[in-house]
Structures are given as structure tokens and as C-alpha cells.
Amino acid sequence: WKGDSDATPNFRALGKLSPPVMRKIEPFGAQFLAYARRKRHGRTFSEDDRI
Amino acid sequence: MSDESNEVPATGSPEHYAIGIAFGNSYSSIAHISGEGKVEVIANEEGDRQIPSVLSYIEGEEYHGTQAKAQLVRNSKNTVAYFRDFIGKDYKSIDPTPCHASAHPIEVDGQICFSIRDTDSETENKVSVQEITARHLRRLKNSASDFVGKPVTAAVVAIPTDTSDEQKAALTKAAASIELEILQFMPEPIAALLAYDSRVPDSGADKNVLVADFGGHRSDVAVIASRGGMYSILATAHDYELGGAQLDQILIDHFAKEFEKKNKTDPRKNERSLAKLRLEAEAVKKALSQSTSATFSVESLADGVDFRSTINRSRYEILALKTFGRFTRLVEEVIKKADLDVLDIDEIILSGGASHTPKIAKNIEAIFPESTRVLAPATVTTALSPSELSARGAALQASLIQEFDKEDIDQSTHEMVTVTPHLTAAVGYQVSDQPADSFKVLIPAETALPARRSKVIDGLEGDVLIRICEGEREIKVTQSETMPKTNGTKDGDEDAEDDDDSDVDEDDEPEEIREKIWKPKQALAEFVFKGLPKKSKVEIMVNVDADSSVSFTARHVGGKGGVRGEIKAAEVAQNGSA
């Protein structure tokens, strides 16, 4: 067993994710509002956590 | 309306007070968040929490709710009921059947109207359904304002999933005419789900929920993927001829026949008698949901003869057997539409008035595995009242967004925000030293991206390989001992109920044991941990981005350092549908 490279000796990438489908999220509930805020401000989860 | 919202709020008092409104064909209800932060369904002046969506006029005076509903007997021509589904619709596309016993919808200049005497004068006025809706909403708004002690200015309104944009626009217009701003329209199944989810502190669990809304004149079911507290509707199904009214009809027929046997007249042939039968049948049906027997009694039912009779629940359940079956079939239909199996459903929420019926809940519970929770009064003691769910959910949403500007709400609900990629396959992991096909789900399919999940795997030792892969759910069917019979098809079940003799044979039908198993499909990445001490824990975290690139982290809990890695994005397919 060999890693991807010397920099990541313990990790190996094997494949890609199956193509996702586009669906609509229902715009309701506190979690959605948090998601909408992230999306509109272009933030990631961790950036949002820090705020 | 825009003038309204641009006004500077008076100092001190909040600009908005928003409530939740469930507006149904048969009943409406209103709810708000009380001072203690609890959802409270508001009773109107008559003490009703389920307010009949009925308006009636006598000599220019307007009656609403239960009082108006009582007028269906003596004043049916000036009583308007079952109009919600007519709003914003073309006259040709509506089904006026439920209005048979009240004011009929007529077409005036392409608009749906009711011809009623709503003023002092003897002449009939043609009142548009839009105006009727506005009057109904005004009564609801006033009841809510009186209850909370401040003017209600805004609302979130729960509506069926198949409501068109024209209908929403017409509703918005009707509400605007009485100075009620509709902040958002909320699909009824989402409202019901939110009403339950808000009760548990950690509602972010990933689950597939089926919401069955069994109403008065229609029934709607939906399958919702709930992922991290966000909801995506996977499929919906509707039956516009199934609901509590069909159950009422069974009781009407039953008691009418009994009356006819004694008195030689059929009370269904006389309009007023039929109206009395209908009201009492509904009351008896409701009583049978609460107790095991109920009394049916109508004064002067027909030809001046009083009628009194009783019925017990089991008799009613036999009479309604076929209709109950239709509710169950609608549930099965929506699961099929979502391309799922009963085993994929984690939770079922029964909503709507007809969901109080114990047998309907029991029948639905019977088609699902024991692990599936059926939330109805008959199956779970802590269940919320099915009649209140939509209003509760709408009230919760109203309280969340009432501080926002209209522009903010519009931007957040725009398709740019709401239409997002969802995972098509579940992402999970396998650990070495375990059976080759063992696969544990980390992020289920239909999860909206971006998504992040982490999990601590314990009990590891020595050199361990963790493989992250996509998995596929399969239904494994095993037959139990008994030999299968040729006629052991599903249709046999229905025959058995009519024909007692065949029962014995049907019982021999081999029982199928169906279980859900996961098969690893496509490998994504692998990690290696070397020389872990006994009983080690490894935390893995998978973060799938909106462009479907994936990043991984794994670390030995208590150890130092970790493993990181990522895979780049794949191409996005544009073939989704909700």
C-alpha cells in the first residue's frame, strides 16, 4: 500500500464522486436560513463557525 | 403594499407581528409564538382552534367559522364553503362538487364568484372568491390580533405543495386588501415537519420523512429528505377525492339506511335532511376517533321524525375498510414515486383532520417496519394534534423571518439559493478487518451540497485501512421456511377479507423477510493508520463541496497529527427534479 505522494503518505485518492443532481431545498427553518446566509456571503462552514 | 412596508415603524413597537396561518378548504387555524417562546395555536372568539373555512350571511350580518357552518342547514344558499382551492384558478379547472350543499361557484367575467345575499337588501350580489378569501382572512387576522393584544400585520401561510404561482399571487392580493402581508408561502408537509423538528433540540439528524396530510376533501402526501435540518421534497402525490368527507359519507349512508328502514323515507333525498346528516356524521366520526362508541342523534331529521342511534368503532371500521385502504395506498404511491422502499422511510408524520382516525394510523404503521416512527395520536402518545401541525410550522417560520426585510426574504428564497446540487449516492466508509461488504453511511444520498459529516470509529487496533466510498442501498428479500404458493400474490390479501374460507390458505403464505443492506460501490479515497494501540478511536470527517470536490480528514483521537486529502470536482449533471 502506498500513499499518493511523499507529502501525503497515508492518503490515497481513488475515484470521483458520482455527478450530483440539482434539486430545490425548501427555504424554511433555522438551518436553511443559516445556509442561505453562508451562500449569499460566500462563506464556508468553518468561516461561519468562527463568526 | 410596498407603501406599507416602507413606512418607518413607530418607535418602540415592532413593525411586524407575524403569525402562522393554515388555510384549508374545510378548516383554517392560526398560531403564534407565545411570550415564553412556545408555539400556541390560537382559539377564536368561539373557542375553536379548528375554524371552519365557512362564511354565511343573514340579513347583512356576517357569520364565520362554526356559526357559519351551522347555517349550511337553514341558509345554505348564502353560505360559502370549500373555496380555498378555487382561488387564482380558471373556472373550467375547478371541481365544484364539495359546494353542492352550499353556495355554488359561478363564472362572472372569467372570475369565480358566488351569488349570495350578503347585504340587507333582497338582491343577490356576485362576490368573487378573492373577496370571500379576503373576508375569511380578515376574520382570522382579527381573531389573532384580539388574542395577542396587538395588531397582526404579517403571516406565513401554509398551502399544499401543488399550489400554482397564480394561486399564490391571488392569495397575496386578497391578503394585501386587508393589510396582511404574506411573508412566505410554506408547503404544508414542510410546516408539519418543522412543527415536530422544533420540539427536539437536535433536529439535524439525517432522515427520510413521509408526511401524509389527510384533509377534508383532499389528501396530499410527500416524501421529504431531511438532511442536517434542511428539507428537500423528493416526491408528492395527491388525491382530490379522498379525505374526511368520504368517511362522513360512509356514516351518512349507514345512518340514512337505518332511518329508511324504520321510517320509509330516505333522508338523503331532502336537501335539509342531508345537511343535518352531514353535520352529525362528521361529529360522530370525530367522536369515534376519541372513544369506541358514539351516538348519532338529529332532531327532526326528515318528516319531523327525530332520529337517534349509536355506532361503535369496530362497526365503523368495517364499513370504512375500503376507504381506509385508499389512504394507505396513497402512502405507498408516493414512496414508489420517490423511487424508495418502505424500509427507506425513517419517520411518518400524519397531519390533517382525518389523521385522528386510529385505524388509518394503524394501517399505515402496519406497512412499515417496526423501526419506522409513525407520529399520530393513535400510535405515539407524545404526538402533536394532526390538525394543528400546519399552523404550528407556519408560526415557527413566521417568527424566524418576521424581523427580516422583504428583500432579504426574497433574496434568500430565490432559486439561485434554493436550487443546489444534491448527492446522488450515499457516502460512507469501510474499515479493514471487517467483512468486505460492510459499509456504514456517513452522508446519505439526497443531501444538499455543501455538506460536512464526521464520525468517530472506535475499537480499532494495529494497522488500519479506512476506505471512503459511495454505497448503494439494496433490498434483500429472503423467504421464510414455508414453500411459496402459486397464488400467494399481493392481491390475495384483499380477497381474504371478503372470503373467510380462503383465510386459512393465505396464512400459509410464506413470509418474506425484507431488509435493507448497503453495498459499497465506488471507492473515493483511503487512509492508513499504522500501529494503533488497542481500543483506538479515529475520527473521520468528510466535507463535500458544492462543486463536488471532497476533502477528507482523519485523526487518531488522543494521538498526534492527522491525515488530510482531497479529490477534485467531477462534472455536474443538470437533470434534477424535485
Domain CATH for B145: 3.30.420.40
For residue B7, the model assigns a pLDDT of 42
Q: Is residue B501 scored above 80 in pLDDT?
A: no
pLDDT value at residue A14: 85
Its domain, for residue B213, covers 201-240+325-383
Residues B474 and B557 in one domain: yes
| Measured distance CA(B37)–CA(B27) in Å, rounded | 25
List the one residue out of B134, B122, B132 whose CA is nearest residue B102.
B132
The reported pLDDT for the residue numbered B8 is 41
Residue B218 lies in a domain: yes
Cβ contact, residue pair A20, B564, below 8 Å: no
Mean pLDDT of the residues in chain B: 89
Same domain, B29 and B133: yes
B300 lies in some domain = no
For residue B180, give the C-alpha cell.
396582511
Do B354 and B216 belong to one domain? yes
- B37 and B154 housed in the same domain: yes
- Does the residue B311 lie in any domain? no
B491 is a domain residue: yes
How does pLDDT run across B57-87, given as a tens digit for each residue?
999 999 999 999 999 999 999 999 999 999 9
CA-closest candidate to residue B19, choices B139, B148, B123: B148
C-alpha separations of B97 from B79, B102, B103, B241, B243 in Å: 15, 10, 11, 10, 14
User: Residue A29 and residue B465: Cβ atoms within 8 Å?
Assistant: no
Q: What is the CATH number of the domain that holds B445?
A: 2.60.34.10
Please compute the mean of the pLDDT values over residues B520-535 and round it to a whole number.
Answer: 88
Q: Which residues does B407 contact at the CB level (< 8 Å), separation at least 6? A: none
Do A24 and B527 count as a contact with CB atoms less than 8 A apart? no
Q: B36 with B174, same domain?
A: yes
Instruction: Say if B114 falls within a structural domain.
Output: no
Q: Do B570 and A16 touch (CB under 8 A)?
A: yes
pLDDT at position B496, please?
43
Query: Residue B15: which pLDDT band, with cuts at 50, 70 and 90?
Result: low
B215 inside domain: yes
Are residues B347 and B463 located together in one domain of the fold? no
C-beta of residue B336 within 8 angstroms of C-beta of residue B342: no
Pairwise CB contact (< 8 Å): A10 & B527: yes
**3-state helix vs strand vs coil in chain A, percent to 5:** 35, 15, 50
Instruction: Please indicate, yes or no, whether residues B60 and B31 belong to a single structural domain of this protein.
Output: yes
Q: Kindly tell me if the per-residue pLDDT of B328 is higher than 80.
A: yes
B156 and B26 share a domain?
Answer: yes
Tell whether the model's pLDDT for residue B1 goes beyond 50: no
Whole-angstrom distance, CA of residue B465 vs CA of residue B541? 15
Question: pLDDT tens-digit profile of B278-296?
Answer: 999 999 999 999 999 999 9
Count chain A–chain B contacts defined by CB atoms under 8 A: 173
Residue B559 has pLDDT above 80, yes or no: no
CB contact at 8 A, B188 and B238: no
- Write down the pLDDT at residue B162: 94
Using a CB-CB cut-off of 8 Å, the residues of chain B touching A36 are 412-413, 417
* Domains: count for chain B: 3
Residues B405/B181, Cβ–Cβ less than 8 Å: no
Q: For the complex shown, is ipTM > 0.95?
A: no
| B424-453 pLDDT, tens digit each | 999 999 988 777 678 999 999 999 999 999
Of B187, B421, B450, the CB nearest to A21: B421
Closest CA of chain B from A7, distance in Å: 10
> Per-residue pLDDT for B495 more than 60?
no
Average pLDDT over residues A2-21: 79
- Residue B455, number of CB atoms within 10 A of its CB: 15
Question: Cα–Cα distance between B144 and B117 in angstroms, integer?
Answer: 27
pLDDT at B14 (0 to 100) = 52
B142 and B207 in a single domain? The answer is no
Shared-domain flag, residues B71 and B148: yes
Q: Is B524 on the interface with A (CB under 8 A)?
A: yes
H-run or E-run covering B330 = helix B321-337
Residues B455, B561 share a domain: yes
Indicate if B475 and B376 belong to the same structural domain.
no
Q: Is there a domain that residue B514 lies in?
A: yes
Give a yes or no: residue B316 inside a domain: no
Q: What is the three-class DSSP state of A15?
A: coil
Quick: pLDDT tens for B228-281.
999 999 999 999 999 999 999 999 999 999 999 999 999 999 999 999 999 999
